[in-house]
Structure 1
Amino acid sequence: MGYVELYTKLSELSPANRKAVMKFIDSLPKERQAKTKRVAGLAKGLIEMKEGFDDPIDFTKI
């Protein structure tokens, strides 16, 4: 949907509905900012590496 289509639909709304749309639009950036910072180390102890993970791969056995 382009800006022209959006403007056309918005101009066809009643003043009460325009206010509701404006309140909704104003609330959108707040939802994005409400995310909390990520905390390091939450998965500690949940992931295990198998023995020999870093060993070179022997392509003759594949």
Structure 2
Amino acid sequence: MATYGVAEAKNKFTHLLDRVEKGESITITRHGKPVAELHAPARPIPRHKGPEWQAWYDEFVKRRDARPPLGMSAAELVRAMRDGDPE
């Protein structure tokens, strides 16, 4: 298992993720003490979408499209939420 300090791991994060994706485990240390481990998930991430996912997505799109439009842009909505407007 490879070991990297926090600063070095930060600088090489993308490279470390590539190594983890290939099955390697990485330990990250702070002041010489292990604080985190990077390893591949127990269940592999599916690389293709199956029929169950497609059915879920089709239903999601159908429900989304059935909703009435909000009547304002996303920027206007965020501005209203930020400024505390009652609408």
TM value normalised by structure 1: 0.31
Give the structure with the larger strand fraction.
2
RCO higher in 1 or 2 (8 Å CA, sep ≥ 6)? Answer: 2
TM value normalised by structure 2: 0.23
